[in-house]
Chains A and B, each alone.
Chain A
Amino acid sequence: MTAPPIAQSDPFLDELRSILGPDGVRADKPARWNRTRVPAPFPVHRWADYAPDVVVLPRTAQEIAGVVRLANRHGIPVVPRAGATGLNDGAVPLRRGIIVDVKRMNQIREIDLVDRTVTVGPGINMLKLNEELRKHGVMFPDDPASYPCSLVGGRIGTSGWSLIGGRYGHTRDLVISFEIVLPTGEIIRVGDGGGRKIRKSSTGYQLKHLFMGHQGTLGIVTEATLELVPRPEVEFAAFFHYPSFQAAYESTGALTKSGLATLAGVVLFDEWKLRYLRRDDEAYIPQAENVRAVVATAMYGTRDEVKPAARRLVRTARESGGTYLGDEVSQGDWAARHDRYATPLHGRLRTTGQVVPMSWHCEDAAINYSALPQVMEEWHAIADRIIDRYGIFDDWGMFFYTNAAHKPWGDYLVEIDIGIWEQKLDDVNWAGWVEAKHDIAAVALKYGGSITACHGATREGDAELAAEEMGGGFEVMKAIKRVLDPNNIMNPGKYELDTAYDPNAPSPFSGRRTGGN
């Protein structure tokens, strides 16, 4: 028998309990195993390799600071976990250690209707927060597909994207400031500068943006002050159909360049997506065969703004070749956007057409408008290759979403949905999947894009290319990591940041050796 890891030794657990109290520390297997994975594809056959050593359930920033200082003394990894609903694996421990699960920090600490902010703990969910805010006629408009389940801490950790970000901005625009426990245990507050409710400042470096999307590698967020906006008087959704992807693509360009300020988002469905929805999504409203691509639009705001803008939007869509799809799909599908996060969870084998249980996975990238058609063709070709080679994948089509806050015209969150028959995962199939991820990310870079618009790029298959995407910036990132986390305890292995400490550090992923220069 081997000795238990330090993090599971009685003296260490006693130290943790002295910080968190007895109910704040769990070392039993179910507690640890159930805090190992996220919805991203997971090598379930290697579950045991990723289970953390111990779980802590803090209630305060001081408790977290105590845990982090203890971890530094012993050199034990620390991985923060909020909702664990990410499609990257920021919350999956690569080196075991301590999981800091912040779900108990879900309090609303202040609602300020005068300066229009709400201050919360990182463990609160947006839907639950908005249930409270509704009473005051305001909302926090961070609205990802995971709106019913993701938590504010994770939104900051991944620098999330919001479905209505074109109108209201994304997580980084909507979080005014936040408190974070640094990797060495100090507690600081970062914002644009000034007090915690100041949105724009020119003092110093923009530290909020440094820690936004840190994926747990630079600390643990313990409180956030968020934007409040008036609840919209009107939500207007309109779906249009087109005879081809090309027609829909051109119309998307016309719609997003219209300059309509209430335009919250535009979503383009490609021909593969339409075929898939017809084939296997029983919830999808039936459409005529000549419907080959769809564009969804949504506007939010006051009645006085949206009513005339909607007329103009519909006119623009029609003039650019679109046909209105009808109220049922326009209202019903838009209302169900959150639920559509999870597609039908079954797919088909190309060889036999057999229906099998498949989990959904979505690869994302940020791509400029001009490159969307090429990226689409090349991504589907990659999907085709693994479908033929491995027999456990299915291509569920692509979505293109407007990406930038308040500027919906220039770049897009591009997603390809792939079904994976997870019960069949083994080392060979897993390696095939990782290789496909890598190739998908490489296409994004080839066309001047980013590996990811919202999921994060810490994951096997992506992380090896992060250095390439960032160029000289990756050296700065490593230098920052070294300074802030001298003992490399915060979520080690992610982004291949081990090379910040040792240029020859082995990759944590499948023997692949890149990262850094």
Chain B
Amino acid sequence: MTADAPYDPTSDGELQQEFVEQWRNAAYGCFSSGHKFCREVCPVMQVTRNENHTPTAFHANVVAMEQGAYGIADVAEDYVHCTQCGACELRCPNTLFTGDFYRNRTQTVKLVKAMRALAVDSGVEQPHWKRWIEATVDRRNEPVLEVPVEQERVRDWAEGLDLATGGETVLFVDCEAAFFRTSVARSTAQVLNAAGVEFGLMREQWCCGGPASEMGYTAHARNFAEHNVADWRAIGARRIITLDPHDYITFTEDYPTYFGAAYDFEILHITELVADLVRDGKLTFTQPIERVVTYHDPCRLNKRKGIHESPREILRAIPGLTFKDVDHVTQWSYCSGAGAGLAIEKPEITAEISRRRVTQAADLGVDALVSACVWSERPLSEQGAKLEQPLDVIDLMELVAQAAGVDGRGVTAVRSGGAVAGVRGGEASRGAPEALA
């Protein structure tokens, strides 16, 4: 047969037809523009330089599917090449010019999630994602590797802190922060204690379900959500504090679509809360930190949610700290590569995105890169450790804990133990799914 032999769109059945019907106009909005402003800002494209991985191609494929040129099985693997960072949406001329008036933002992230869901629902699965999700369902938390992930150990990170269960305000701690970089969770909890914020933990904490949703496993994602929301309701929670930007996205974007108007929780991200506490004088920094740092804007805070002021405000309030900033718009093209399952399915691309990010930081002459996304910190730490002049990667809450004079060290021997004092992060790669077998 010729490579251009007619493709039978009906072979993919109604699912694909429904998908095309839903997305065709949005896809045309991009297709008919075709300028590709998104390309050079895309962290994956900057590494692979493969036009199949551009947001433009992600939209054009819908038009091609509408024409019956090809189907989901032909393109599913291309859609792995996305961290769902949202840079392309911000840089898109359609967003720039019709955004305000028509409330029209190019929705590449939603499209990628929908295409991945179509793939899963059509039986086209990526092997590592499949195993990752199966393990997450099994353990109720993501298999973050190298540490035992079990439901009964989900609060081990809080050992000795005497934290309450339940109450109006819940600190949500799952997966990477609960099992791997526990110093982030311990720092956050103690900073909140120091500032007099009352909060509790959940009775039974499950993964937020965001990763499953990002990889296309929508039914699984929904199950996690239903469990967590039921737990929140049972303990009378009204306000949820997230320390992980991925959780923040899931609770503010996914959960409302599941539960509609009945979903009336206040969702806070920790950097916003801590900035308020500092501003109100409820949290004071007593310990100078004599270091030179720059800040990594986590994609889901900066690009997806427009949160870029509060982390900078916090950093500028820490005595002794020399903060060499790179503005948040320049950082549209930065990423750690850790998001949306890329690290699980394509760890080599994540590693290269992270290598470039720590190199950009090192070029500023800093000795540490501060992030506010626990998922970014493992790949960034791995690459930071490989630099000629190794670069520490610190979570903002680890730094805040030290400045506030509390001991935020983690309980697992995650080499992050010392938090600020020489954290290099782990050698483990999140993307080594063989370890799951």
In the assembled complex, the CB of B20 is this many whole angstroms from the nearest CB of chain A, namely 14
Asked whether A323 is an interface residue with its Cβ less than 8 Å from the other chain, the reply is: no
Query: Does A104 lie within 8 Å of B94, measured CB to CB?
Result: no
Q: In the complex, what residue of chain B is closest to A5 when comparing beta carbons?
A: B2
> Could you give, for residues 70-108 of chain B, a 1 whenever the CB lies within 8 Å of some chain A CB and a 0 otherwise?
100011001000000000000101101110111000000
Asked whether A406 is an interface residue with its Cβ less than 8 Å from the other chain, the reply is: no
Asked whether A62 is an interface residue with its Cβ less than 8 Å from the other chain, the reply is: no
Given A34-B61, A282-B98, A342 and B49 touching (CB < 8 A)?
no
Query: Does A422 lie within 8 Å of B28, measured CB to CB?
Result: yes
CB neighbours (8 Å) of B64 from chain A are 29-30, 33, 47
CA distance A85 to B35 in the complex (A): 6
Of the candidates A31, A47, A342, the one whose C-beta lies within 8 Å of that of B37 is A342
Of the candidates A103, A128, A343, the one whose C-beta lies within 8 Å of that of B50 is A103
Q: Which of A36-44, A69-77, A470-478, A505-513 is near enough to bind chain B? A: A36-44
CB neighbours (8 Å) of B61 from chain A are 30, 34
Number of A-B contacts defined by CB within 8 Å: 142
Asked whether A123 is an interface residue with its Cβ less than 8 Å from the other chain, the reply is: yes
Query: Does A85 lie within 8 Å of B93, measured CB to CB?
Result: no
Query: Does A1 lie within 8 Å of B35, measured CB to CB?
Result: no
CA distance A212 to B50 in the complex (A): 26
Asked whether B320 is an interface residue with its Cβ less than 8 Å from the other chain, the reply is: no
Given A47-B67, A345-B29, A346-B98, A29 and B37 touching (CB < 8 A)?
no
CA distance A358 to B25 in the complex (A): 11
CA distance A38 to B56 in the complex (A): 11
Of the candidates B41, B46, B74, B100, the one whose C-beta lies within 8 Å of that of A29 is B74
Of the candidates B32, B52, B96, B363, the one whose C-beta lies within 8 Å of that of A30 is B52
CB neighbours (8 Å) of B60 from chain A are 33-34
Asked whether B1 is an interface residue with its Cβ less than 8 Å from the other chain, the reply is: yes
Of the candidates B32, B37, B75, B96, the one whose C-beta lies within 8 Å of that of A358 is B32
In the assembled complex, the CB of A21 is this many whole angstroms from the nearest CB of chain B, namely 14
Given A34-B60, A39-B34, A423 and B50 touching (CB < 8 A)?
no
Query: Does A343 lie within 8 Å of B97, measured CB to CB?
Result: yes
Of the candidates A51, A101, A343, A344, the one whose C-beta lies within 8 Å of that of B4 is A51
Given A4-B1, A103-B51, A357-B28, A37 and B34 touching (CB < 8 A)?
yes
CA distance A48 to B93 in the complex (A): 27
> Could you give, for residues 115-142 of chain A, a 1 whenever the CB lies within 8 Å of some chain B CB and a 0 otherwise?
0000000010101100000010000000
CA distance A38 to B51 in the complex (A): 12
Q: In the complex, what residue of chain B is closest to A103 when comparing beta carbons?
A: B49
CA distance A26 to B5 in the complex (A): 17
Q: How large is the interface on B (under 10, 10 to 19, 20 to 34, 35 or more residues)?
A: 35 or more
| Main DSSP-derived SS at the B contact region | helix
Query: Does B93 lie within 8 Å of A30, measured CB to CB?
Result: no
Give the residues from 401 to 426 in chain A that come closer than 8 angstroms, CB to CB, to chain B.
420, 422-423
Q: In the complex, what residue of chain A is closest to B6 when comparing beta carbons?
A: A48
Give the residues from 326 to 364 in chain A that come closer than 8 angstroms, CB to CB, to chain B.
339, 341-346, 357-360
CB neighbours (8 Å) of B179 from chain A are none
Q: In the complex, what residue of chain A is closest to B94 when comparing beta carbons?
A: A345
Query: Does A342 lie within 8 Å of B35, measured CB to CB?
Result: yes
CA distance A125 to B91 in the complex (A): 15
Query: Does B52 lie within 8 Å of A34, measured CB to CB?
Result: yes
Asked whether B40 is an interface residue with its Cβ less than 8 Å from the other chain, the reply is: yes
Query: Does A104 lie within 8 Å of B49, measured CB to CB?
Result: yes
Query: Does B2 lie within 8 Å of A8, measured CB to CB?
Result: yes
CB neighbours (8 Å) of A83 from chain B are 36, 39
CA distance A85 to B40 in the complex (A): 12
CB neighbours (8 Å) of A341 from chain B are 35, 93
Asked whether B31 is an interface residue with its Cβ less than 8 Å from the other chain, the reply is: yes
Asked whether B63 is an interface residue with its Cβ less than 8 Å from the other chain, the reply is: yes
CA distance A423 to B32 in the complex (A): 9
Asked whether B3 is an interface residue with its Cβ less than 8 Å from the other chain, the reply is: yes
Query: Does A359 lie within 8 Å of B33, measured CB to CB?
Result: yes
CB neighbours (8 Å) of A344 from chain B are 97-98
CB neighbours (8 Å) of B67 from chain A are 44, 47-48
In the assembled complex, the CB of A105 is this many whole angstroms from the nearest CB of chain B, namely 9
Asked whether A207 is an interface residue with its Cβ less than 8 Å from the other chain, the reply is: no
Query: Does A149 lie within 8 Å of B32, measured CB to CB?
Result: no
CB neighbours (8 Å) of B229 from chain A are none
Q: Number of residues in A with C-beta < 8 Å to the partner?
A: 58
Q: In the complex, what residue of chain A is closest to B2 when comparing beta carbons?
A: A4
Given A34-B52, A103-B50, A342-B97, A127 and B3 touching (CB < 8 A)?
no
Given A282-B101, A339-B96, A1 and B49 touching (CB < 8 A)?
no
Query: Does B2 lie within 8 Å of A2, measured CB to CB?
Result: yes
CB neighbours (8 Å) of B50 from chain A are 57, 103
Query: Does B74 lie within 8 Å of A148, measured CB to CB?
Result: no
Query: Does B40 lie within 8 Å of A38, measured CB to CB?
Result: no
Interface centre among A33, A282, A344 (most CB of B within 10 A): A33
Q: In the complex, what residue of chain A is closest to B41 when comparing beta carbons?
A: A148
Query: Does A135 lie within 8 Å of B94, measured CB to CB?
Result: no
Asked whether A27 is an interface residue with its Cβ less than 8 Å from the other chain, the reply is: yes
CA distance A123 to B51 in the complex (A): 12
CA distance A284 to B383 in the complex (A): 44
CB neighbours (8 Å) of A57 from chain B are 49-50
Query: Does A148 lie within 8 Å of B91, measured CB to CB?
Result: yes
CA distance A372 to B54 in the complex (A): 39
In the assembled complex, the CB of B90 is this many whole angstroms from the nearest CB of chain A, namely 11
CB neighbours (8 Å) of A146 from chain B are 35
Asked whether B57 is an interface residue with its Cβ less than 8 Å from the other chain, the reply is: yes
Of the candidates B32, B78, B93, the one whose C-beta lies within 8 Å of that of A422 is B32
Asked whether B366 is an interface residue with its Cβ less than 8 Å from the other chain, the reply is: no
Given A33-B64, A135-B363, A149-B36, A1 and B1 touching (CB < 8 A)?
yes
21 intermolecular pairs with C-beta atoms under 8 Å apart: A2-B2, A5-B2, A8-B2, A30-B75, A31-B51, A34-B52, A39-B34, A44-B63, A48-B4, A84-B51, A103-B50, A125-B40, A283-B96, A341-B35, A344-B97, A345-B29, A345-B97, A359-B34, A360-B33, A422-B28, A422-B31
Query: Which B residues are closer than 8 A to A by beta carbons?
Result: 1-5, 7, 25, 28-29, 31-37, 39-41, 46, 49-52, 54, 56-57, 60-61, 63-64, 67, 69-70, 74-75, 78, 91, 93-94, 96-98, 100-102, 363
Query: Which A residues are closer than 8 A to B by beta carbons?
Result: 1-5, 8, 26-35, 37-39, 42, 44, 47-48, 51, 53, 57, 83-85, 101, 103-104, 106, 123, 125, 127-128, 135, 146, 148-149, 281-283, 339, 341-346, 357-360, 420, 422-423
Seed contacts A30-B75, A38-B34, A127-B40; 20 additional CB < 8 Å A-B pairs: A1-B5, A29-B7, A29-B69, A30-B52, A34-B60, A39-B33, A39-B34, A47-B69, A57-B49, A85-B36, A103-B49, A103-B50, A106-B49, A123-B49, A128-B46, A148-B41, A282-B97, A283-B96, A359-B33, A423-B32
Ranked 9 nearest A-B pairs via Cβ: A342-B93, A359-B32, A282-B101, A39-B34, A103-B49, A34-B57, A344-B97, A104-B49, A422-B32
